Chains A and B, each alone.
Chain A
Amino acid sequence: MSLISRKVRRAATAVGAVSLLLSAAACSNNNSSDAHTLTMWTNVSPGPGLDYLNNTIKTFESQHSGYTIKLKTMADTDLDGALQTAMQGGASTAPDIYLQRGGGKLKAQVQAGQVADISGSLSAQAKQDIVASSYGPEQVDGKTYAVPVAIQPGGFFYSKNLFKQAGITSVPTTVAQLEAADAKLKGKGITPIAVGAKDGWPAAHWYYWFALRDCSQGVLNSTAQSLKFTDACWTKAGDDLKAFIATNPWEKGYIGIGQQGAGSSAALMANHKASMELMGGWDPGVIAGLTPNKKPLPDLSFFPMVQVPGGKGSPTATMGGVDAYSCSKWAPSVCTDFLNLLATTAQQTAYSKAFQTVPANTQSQKTVTDPLLKAETASVAKAPYVSFWLDSLYGQNVGTALNTSVVNLFTGKGTVADIISTVNAAGAKG
């Protein structure tokens, strides 16, 4: 063997040895937290929201000498997977404080014994000042597992200028009025409603909203246990949606259009190419990022979901998401002090300003001045109950099944009966 090939072989052997050691090291645990260092995982991106969290952590650390919180932020799409894996590792890998999705996700974490029951540790303020219904998605079997920091009610986000252009003087409050408004907008060559059906869930949300009006609160909650759409209200919701779809208020080619990003339904709103979108409380922020000057759309406003004739649900009930934080089962007891800090009026007011959301704290709600947020807050205040997004309430697999069957209804490929049977079948998978 030549000298060169021997050298190459030695080098390759050395590389092999190092790689072997590295691959062995990769299997080791690198969690460095101890009883006085708490880890916090969330999906906040750099900006006012991250500044708020850093300030809150400083406040907590000043109140709890010797304790520190290490904040870890990641993309929203990465958080759930990372969290699920970390929780599987138990105390050595699980974060102490984390963003709680609530509903079906929380239920799974409770069943796996991964999340701390904080029912007995909630402060008086957290019990009194936080909107009671916002605790709904954060409770399982009467026990509380997370503290809500904001409510993101859904509804119609619309362009006041385009409404004015079409001669619409007041916002619709019934389905009939909504259809009349759509006709006026179409008459002026304006797309009435944008829907990001490519993503599935924006179309499915339309079904959820009709279900909110057609089904009683009791049926919505009991279905979370049975995962069966057996009540007649689910079929009525499908029929009502089908009738509304027949008026075709959507943009052209909606099957290929997502909710966010360039060319999305939010982009249509941002560029005044569509006048309304039925969406969650995050929509103004998404639209703001897609306007030509990257600033909030100045004529954007809000009105609640319209009333549906013959429905058994409350005509003013609303639906939305809740931002909340939990402590993992392995977190030290001071973790709940941090959650109680998040519940205070000062913190929730600051959170609302940083994230442009409706505070869950009723005292903080009084401090909201932004007109759009005020309209959203008013819809929550008028609602006898706030339902959690049905896909989050019933679990991811039911939500995914609903997405396709509702989009099929949109395109005429599916029926209302398909929606019911698909959901019932999805429940069996997990």
Chain B
Amino acid sequence: MSESQVALTQESLDGARGAGAGTHVPAPVSRKARRPRASWRERLEITLLAGPAIVVFVAFVIVPVVMAVYYGFYRWTGDGPPTDWVGLQNYKLIFQDPVFFSAVKHSFAIVGLSLVIQGPLAVGLALLLNRKIRGRSIIRVLVFAPWVVSEVVAGMGWNEMLQADGALNHMLTGLHIFGTVSIDWIGDSHVAIWTLMMVLTWKYLGFAIILMMAGLQNIPEELFEAARVDGASYWQAQRYVTVPLLGPTIRIWAFLSIIGSLQLFDLVWVIWGSTSSQVAGTSTMAMYMRDNGLGSGTWGYGSAVAVVLFGISLVVAVAYQRFVLRRDLSGAITEGA
């Protein structure tokens, strides 16, 4: 039972008791309800239970964000304290750097392509796997397995397979359909972004499918029965019952996918690395930040990049919550906004 429910019940009981005794005195309208004061014991408990989490959050989230803003105003190599104040010069350099805009462009392309490719695939496969078919459990495990594999391990495996004389080209050649296949999956800038999307879809589709399947479980069977009685075909039932009722799940998945795509680093880093990703057109915002901070020893500039990326991610996340997730989160984080 929640705290508010307890309070309500107590109030009802008091009201009933008062009315029965004929001694109920209505409280003044303007008087605010006063919360009972927490005892020292409760305060201690709150402090000890929330303390570690607050310390960790402040130390590893709040302080670094504030420090990044501070360092971003300096030209600083990380040796000794920052002393060379440059104001907004680092930010000016960021917005003059075509490599930064390439990275931003790639990140947003990955966001869009992930939604367009993985979304329909996930819904379709979830519908398929939700039906009673032979080997359904094994297929579910196989689809979900890549999501469990660590990004670095997956990246190293794909890197080996995608080499010019790697397993993928050998396999395609072995099919005897395309002749001798010698595609430069990693280096060819016309191919590389699609290679990345292939790997990302393989890696993260399983998670999307699991979410969709969980969403499907929540749709009452009676609605499909009613649709069938009304003469709806299977596809009409999916179009007018499943998809609308799966909406909240799709919107939450899309939110997670957008955030994940904006933060994408490890798979690209392992398969392409810093230099090749820029040459092949798969560099991301997170990689630009790494290259220009840790990778270049220019900590002031790198911090400014981190602040810009923080801003971009924040704007996207807040806008999405405000305009897309609002209906799903109504009464939770959007209340009073």
| Partner-contacting stretch, out of A166-174, A291-299, A358-366, A393-401 | A393-401
In the complex the two chains form, is B187's CB within 8 Å of A16's CB? no
Q: How does the 8 Å CB contact mask read for B147-181 relative to A, with 1 for contact and 0 for none? A: 00000000000011011110000000000000000
B77 within 8 Å of A by Cβ? yes
Q: How does the 8 Å CB contact mask read for A19-63 relative to B, with 1 for contact and 0 for none? A: 110011000000000000000000000000000000000000000
In the complex the two chains form, is B159's CB within 8 Å of A430's CB? no
Q: A308 → chain B, closest Cβ, in Å?
A: 24
Q: Given A403-B274, A429-B292, A430-B301, are A256 and B79 also a contact pair (CB < 8 Å)? A: no
In the complex the two chains form, is B273's CB within 8 Å of A200's CB? yes
Chain A residues in 8 Å Cβ range of B79: 84, 87, 108-109, 111-112, 114
Q: Which of A23, A200, A408 contacts B56 (CB 8 A)?
A: A23
B49 within 8 Å of A by Cβ? yes
A254 within 8 Å of B by Cβ? yes
- From A20, A253, A403, residue with most partner B Cβ within 10 Å: A253
In the complex the two chains form, is B187's CB within 8 Å of A12's CB? no
The distance in angstroms between the C-alpha atoms of A54 and B160, with both chains bound, is: 39
In the complex the two chains form, is B78's CB within 8 Å of A84's CB? yes
The distance in angstroms between the C-alpha atoms of A114 and B77, with both chains bound, is: 13
Chain A residues in 8 Å Cβ range of B182: 252
In the complex the two chains form, is B55's CB within 8 Å of A263's CB? no
In the complex the two chains form, is A254's CB within 8 Å of B187's CB? yes
The distance in angstroms between the C-alpha atoms of A263 and B166, with both chains bound, is: 10
Chain A residues in 8 Å Cβ range of B130: none
In the complex the two chains form, is A253's CB within 8 Å of B187's CB? yes
B309 within 8 Å of A by Cβ? no
Q: Given A16-B49, A256-B187, are A430 and B300 also a contact pair (CB < 8 Å)? A: yes
Q: B93 → chain A, closest Cβ, in Å?
A: 6
Q: Which of B93, B99, B165, B296 contacts A252 (CB 8 A)?
A: B165
Q: Which of A24, A255, A263 contacts B279 (CB 8 A)?
A: A255
Chain A residues in 8 Å Cβ range of B189: 413
Question: How many A residues touch B, CB cutoff 8 Å?
Answer: 51
A81 within 8 Å of B by Cβ? yes
The distance in angstroms between the C-alpha atoms of A85 and B275, with both chains bound, is: 26
Chain B residues in 8 Å Cβ range of A114: 79-80
The distance in angstroms between the C-alpha atoms of A264 and B74, with both chains bound, is: 38
In the complex the two chains form, is B301's CB within 8 Å of A429's CB? yes
In the complex the two chains form, is A407's CB within 8 Å of B276's CB? yes
The distance in angstroms between the C-alpha atoms of A406 and B185, with both chains bound, is: 21
Q: Which of A257, A262, A397 contacts B296 (CB 8 A)?
A: A397
Chain A residues in 8 Å Cβ range of B184: 253, 255-256
Chain A residues in 8 Å Cβ range of B276: 197-198, 200, 255-256, 407
The distance in angstroms between the C-alpha atoms of A9 and B301, with both chains bound, is: 47
B243 within 8 Å of A by Cβ? no
A258 within 8 Å of B by Cβ? yes
The distance in angstroms between the C-alpha atoms of A257 and B189, with both chains bound, is: 15
The distance in angstroms between the C-alpha atoms of A198 and B273, with both chains bound, is: 6
In the complex the two chains form, is A404's CB within 8 Å of B99's CB? yes
A13 within 8 Å of B by Cβ? yes
Q: Which residue of A lies closest to B159 (CB)?
A: A256
A113 within 8 Å of B by Cβ? yes
Q: How does the 8 Å CB contact mask read for B45-88 relative to A, with 1 for contact and 0 for none? A: 10011111001100100000000000000011111110000000
Q: Which residues of B contact A (CB under 8 A)?
A: 44-45, 48-52, 55-56, 59, 75-81, 90, 93, 97, 99, 159-160, 162-165, 182, 184-187, 189, 271-276, 278-280, 291-292, 294-301
| Given pairs A403-B274, A411-B279, 19 additional interface contacts (CB within 8 A) | A13-B49, A17-B48, A88-B78, A88-B81, A197-B275, A199-B273, A255-B279, A255-B280, A256-B184, A256-B186, A256-B187, A396-B295, A396-B296, A397-B298, A400-B291, A413-B189, A428-B93, A430-B297, A430-B298
Provide a sorted-by-A list of 7 A–B residue pairs whose CB atoms are within 8 angstroms: A253-B186, A255-B279, A256-B163, A404-B275, A404-B278, A429-B292, A430-B301
